[in-house]
Structure 1
Amino acid sequence: MNEISMKAVGQRIFGGPEVLETVEVARPEPGPGEVLVRVAAASVNAADWKIRAGLIAKFGPPPFTLGFDVSGTVAEVGADVTGYRPGDEVYGMVLGRSGAYAEYVVLPADFVAPKPASLDHAQAAALPTAVLTAWQALREVKPGQRVLVHAAAGGVGHLAVQIAKALGAHVTGTARAANHDFLRGLGADELIDYTTTDFTSTVGEVDVVFDLVGGDYLTRSLAILHPHGRLIDAQGEEPLDDPRFHRLYVTPSGTDLREVSALVDRGQLRVEVERVMSMADAAEAHKLSESGRVRGKIVLIPWDAAE
């Protein structure tokens, strides 16, 4: 029996964006509890280029295919999958060495959810990792609490602002002045231009800090945090010796994505897509992501769709 092949973005060595290349690989097959998804869109996360460069040793040595986010159509279902059938439009978060920068990807059925009806595939693909990070960090926020989001205009940050607002919080964000109008449009109550202003001198006491920057932002944030507040680190920084410090490791969850979908379809959450690019241009997409100047997310679509 001949293997069915597909295109994917692979790499044979760690390095800069130039190590990414289009390759032919065997199309995966779904095992028990898994679904095979025909990829309509994937998106770029900061973790992608950190893994590509060898800064995060998540998958071991290359070769592997990057891509944590997918939106597409179920092509096949494995044994014991009852919630989905071929033709269903889904989105979800992928874990493993065979990621979503490809024509097809396999993932556990528990990791996907029905695509929000109000989004196209490019918008939906921009969500999973970023929105699960924001949702799992902030879902315990209570109405009236004060939340500070660092890097509020980024892929995770702009979603965190909206989730905190949907939960009834007063939201302050740090971002360049050029992004302030954008963030006000998402519901931010106060904004600080971190290039000109020290947030510790202008922000009053807050109940939750969601840090997407790292470095000294962690220790500086403690100065304005309520004695019983929470400092949530999503950057993998060295833990602080303070009971208010919490490390977040995002977890794939179809259940959480269904809750997110409800917010999206009620108009309480929208995702900003900075650019849609072909998977053939994955190296250029990584360069843009590494620049740190992306508002929202970069989305990749398969070769044929881009043509």
Structure 2
Amino acid sequence: MRAVIVDRYKKKGALRLGEMPEPALRDDDVLVEIHAAGLNLLDSKIRDGEFKLILPYRPPFILGHDVAGTVVRVGSNVRRLKPGDEIYARPRDGRVGTFAEFIAMNEADVALKPKNLTMEEAASIPLVGLTAWQVLVERAGLRQGQKVLIHAGSGGVGTFAIQLAKHLGATVATTTSTANVELVKSLGADVVIDYKTQNFEKVLSGYDVVLNSLDGGTLQKSLNVLKPGGKLISISGPADPDFAREQGLNWVLQQVMRLLSFGIRRKAKSRQINYSFLFMRANGEQLSQITSLIEAGIIRPIMDRIVPFEATNEALAYIETGRSKGKVVVQLR
């Protein structure tokens, strides 16, 4: 089958369009013919080798963390899905590879595609949708009347998280560039900070939750926005000891992560703020709940562009610029 392949870890290294064997089907798996695959910065980071100590990929391997397609075969233990079902998913770590014609995924990672979305739109949702859900619903317990700051509101996670936070009844602030102010307002942002002209940490205060997806400087400044008892949740690091334990990493890596996050954890604790790092995980059940919100018209996908499969390298380079509005998707069929 055709696939986009990582032959070796290299920063901004070109991926190869080539042939790979069709994936083997396990008893709990569904084999999916891929129609579209979303691109994420996580793909670039894995290609660059940033996660090679904690994620078990040995080149050559296939990249890709978002998929929409059609079930073509099911394993002997599969009960919920059948051939012909239109699905979407974020396959679990260790079994990614959506930049290909087929993928085998554990049934537990998969949900039926929202009926009101195209395959391309559906492929834009799983990773960012699950990330936003796991930060705001699962980790933060965000509820009506609370205030949340969502950084990078026009990005993939940001555009989804703003809509989800509004649905949960929160007051939503976000940071974005001048060009994207109207976009984030249209998604429901109550307070918009144009980072080109304003310093968010001087404008905002008394917030309950911050979702950080940006650099360490932004992470540090975000402490100033939160009230005592607030939660600072970062999806861009630094990883913390809890994450290391959840991943089952060895003692040495646990100590490395303890050291990397020591500064921000100490500063947060001194202000009675809880810092945590979240690395989203596959979850078909949560994705099914997201499907309900999409079918009800509560959340809509924000698409920047759809590109042909052959343009995957160029598309990854584009999202690395940080200028995309919402998601970029590659189309296979």
TM-score, normalising length: structure 1: 0.94
**Which deviations, in whole Å up to 9, do the C-alpha atoms of 1:188-232 show, x marking residues without a partner?**
001001122111111121011010113111121111201011111
Which amino acid in 2 is paired with 1:163? L
Map of 2:16 onto structure 1 = 21
d(CA) in 1 for partners of 2:186, 2:49? 37
Is 1:267 matched up with 2:297? yes
Q: 2:47 aligns with which of 48, 52, 58?
A: 52
Q: 1:126 aligns with which of 108, 113, 124?
A: 124
d(CA) in 1 for partners of 2:95, 2:164? 30
Is 1:36 matched up with 2:31? yes
d(CA) in 2 for partners of 1:16, 1:300? 21
2:161 counterpart SS class = helix
Give the Å deviation of 1:24. Answer: 1.0
Task: Check 1:261–1:297 CA distance in 2 against 1; reply closer, same or farther (3 A cut).
Answer: same
Map of 2:329 onto structure 1 = 299
Which amino acid in 2 is paired with 1:282? T
**Which deviations, in whole Å up to 9, do the C-alpha atoms of 1:12-65 show, x marking residues without a partner?**
122255521111111113101111010010011001011112122124441110
d(CA) in 2 for partners of 1:80, 1:221? 46
Cα contact 1:228–1:244 (8 A) shared by 2: yes
Cα contact 1:64–1:98 (8 A) shared by 2: no
After TM superposition, the structure 1 = structure 2 runs for residues 214-225 of structure 1, keeping only pairs within 5 Å, are 214-225=215-226
d(CA) in 1 for partners of 2:280, 2:12? 25
Cα contact 1:66–1:97 (8 A) shared by 2: no
**Which deviations, in whole Å up to 9, do the C-alpha atoms of 1:149-190 show, x marking residues without a partner?**
011110001111000000000000000011010011101001
Map of 1:80 onto structure 2 = 77
**Count, aligned residues:** 298
Cα contact 1:12–1:19 (8 A) shared by 2: no
Which amino acid in 1 is paired with 2:4? V
What runs of 5+ residues in structure 2 fail to find an aligned partner? 239-259
Is 1:232 matched up with 2:227? no
Which amino acid in 1 is paired with 2:106? P
Q: 2:59 aligns with which of 55, 59, 62?
A: 62
Q: 1:256 aligns with which of 286, 307, 316?
A: 286
After TM superposition, the structure 1 = structure 2 runs for residues 138-157 of structure 1, keeping only pairs within 5 Å, are 138-139=136-137, 140-157=141-158
| Greater displacement, 151-160 / 218-227 | 218-227
Which amino acid in 2 is paired with 1:183? V
Task: Check 1:164–1:73 CA distance in 2 against 1; reply closer, same or farther (3 A cut).
Answer: same
What runs of 5+ residues in structure 1 fail to find an aligned partner? 1-5
Task: Check 1:97–1:52 CA distance in 2 against 1; reply closer, same or farther (3 A cut).
Answer: farther
d(CA) in 2 for partners of 1:61, 1:96? 10
Cα contact 1:41–1:300 (8 A) shared by 2: yes
2:156 counterpart SS class = coil
1:156 counterpart SS class = helix
d(CA) in 1 for partners of 2:129, 2:175? 18
Give the Å deviation of 1:120. Answer: 0.7
Map of 2:181 onto structure 1 = 180
**1 or 2, which has the higher helix percentage?**
2
Task: Check 1:154–1:98 CA distance in 2 against 1; reply closer, same or farther (3 A cut).
Answer: closer
Which amino acid in 2 is paired with 1:110? A
d(CA) in 1 for partners of 2:96, 2:233? 29
Which amino acid in 2 is paired with 1:64? F
Map of 1:205 onto structure 2 = 206
Is 1:246 matched up with 2:243? no
1:13 counterpart SS class = coil
Cα contact 2:13–2:48 (8 A) shared by 1: no
Map of 1:3 onto structure 2 = none
1:163 counterpart SS class = helix
| Greater displacement, 154-163 / 22-31 | 22-31
d(CA) in 2 for partners of 1:101, 1:121? 14
1:274 counterpart SS class = strand
RMSD between aligned alpha carbons? Answer: 1.3
Cα contact 1:17–1:286 (8 A) shared by 2: no
Identity of aligned residues (%): 38
d(CA) in 2 for partners of 1:60, 1:106? 16
**Which deviations, in whole Å up to 9, do the C-alpha atoms of 1:57-85 show, x marking residues without a partner?**
12444111000110000010011100001
